[in-house]
Structure 1
């Protein structure tokens, strides 16, 4: 019996025909039906190709699972639903693949949804610093923006890393100045911004033990903090504004500071 190599298994065959060919391969047909199928195979390249495919799959699965029943010639009673065995094999293989994919996806989501404890603590420190100093009318900053070069140089030395002040002028926020604050990782810097309505944003910066961490969000009442890590430096932008608005600003701040804002979009 020779199958046509140009035909895909099952092309042009109905489900009942596929069932009959599967039963033929498994030796489950009455003698009269078996002879009829055998005669058909000699004249029907489609059916012959399908049977060849079924037999190849059967041999591969027997070798893979070392099925003892496949090596037993004695009589046995089989209770079977009339679904081709090869379909069960495909469903099982698909289930294994789907299960593996779900395990991988769950792990990936767990990594993303479960930030390190140090990052959570950092975000809370940034939020508390914003909540403490943003309402201050006279003493919101330690060194005013009129001495921008001084405050940036001073804080860069204290954090032992080069810092810069991103411009938020296009969003209507002016730089007010900065201050030195403590953090669990050592010294931290806070840069404060204000718009014409008196609304304020604060950028909080400290050292980080990790090289990169994706952006995450902390919500405390009406306050929002977007925080991330880039080049072993942790950043957090806090404000009492909507998620969408603060995220838009944080994306630009991340880019200005050498991060990877394309990962946020």
Structure 2
């Protein structure tokens, strides 16, 4: 048995014959015979086409001249006297693969440096305008809001759309909720009332903070609008009271006695600020010290 033959090849043609056919190392009679057989066997024709495409790619990569057959003709030209079946087979071969030259490394480095310089210049030029362009979500170069404020905004976006499971512990178990979260945050917590603003407590949940656990308390009014109060420990020490925006969401955040607080919601900025001031006072903070 010929070990160079497989089931995809027609009778009378083996791998060595196909290889010689691709390399132009067969006689005209043998070429015509194999071409006629390939026209009737698509799998074998596909194998030949793949080999020729591979040769074309290697030739383009190495910039080698076209190989010549033994009678001096280019192997990719249609041989005179070949039958129509062989011409149809040649017509279906893949085109020559073109490999484009690579740009020298020093040119690529130069272009990257130009783009980097342009980006830095644009950032410096637009830095003072950043709060206006981003709606206050970014306060300029190097002045992003603290991590807990951004986490509070993300937690609001994730959990307030929930209707069946917005909280882990419902307001009906408020005492258990406060004790549980106080123990986890290792600090006595309290839940301020927002009834005078039309918001009732829905409940709360435990969340991962930047350097430890965090708590989220959720409130809802009769129209279904929701606010959240995010509480977590922080090593930052400042008296500032700032606003962070993301889309239609607003978050007022502040720090008091080693704890970071963030009140988030989509309501008007002035109203949310008033609520935040009252919440800070109810939690023992000193909003009059805000700068």
Normalising by structure 1, we get a TM-score of 0.55
- Cα deviation for residue 261 of structure 1 reads 1.7
Distance in 1 (CA, whole Å) between partners of 2:239 and 2:255 is: 5
* Structure 1 position 148 matched with structure 2 position 150: no
* Matching residue of 1:230: 256
Larger radius of gyration: 2
* Structure 1 position 205 matched with structure 2 position 231: yes
Give unpaired runs (5+ residues) of structure 2: 1-138
Structure with the larger helix share: 1
* Structure 1 position 179 matched with structure 2 position 205: yes
Preserved contact between residue 239 and residue 290 of structure 2 (Cα < 8 Å)? no
234 and 115 in structure 1: CA distance in 2 versus 1, 3 angstrom threshold: farther
* Matching residue of 1:127: 153
4+ residue runs over 4 A deviation: 113-119
Give unpaired runs (5+ residues) of structure 1: 1-112
Distance in 1 (CA, whole Å) between partners of 2:290 and 2:274 is: 10
- Cα deviation for residue 119 of structure 1 reads 5.1
* Structure 1 position 248 matched with structure 2 position 270: no
Distance in 1 (CA, whole Å) between partners of 2:143 and 2:190 is: 27
Could you give the per-residue CA deviations for residues 3-62 of structure 1, whole angstroms, max 9, x where no partner exists? Answer: xxxxxxxxxxxxxxxxxxxxxxxxxxxxxxxxxxxxxxxxxxxxxxxxxxxxxxxxxxxx
117 and 141 in structure 1: CA distance in 2 versus 1, 3 angstrom threshold: farther
* Structure 1 position 216 matched with structure 2 position 263: no
SS at match of 2:207: strand
SS at match of 1:250: helix
* Matching residue of 2:165: 139
SS at match of 1:137: coil
Structure with the larger strand share: 1
SS at match of 1:184: coil
Normalising by structure 2, we get a TM-score of 0.50
Distance in 2 (CA, whole Å) between partners of 1:263 and 1:242 is: 23
* Number of residue pairs matched by the alignment: 153
* Structure 1 position 164 matched with structure 2 position 175: no
SS at match of 2:192: coil
116 and 187 in structure 1: CA distance in 2 versus 1, 3 angstrom threshold: farther
Preserved contact between residue 207 and residue 232 of structure 1 (Cα < 8 Å)? yes
State the Cα RMSD in Å: 2.0
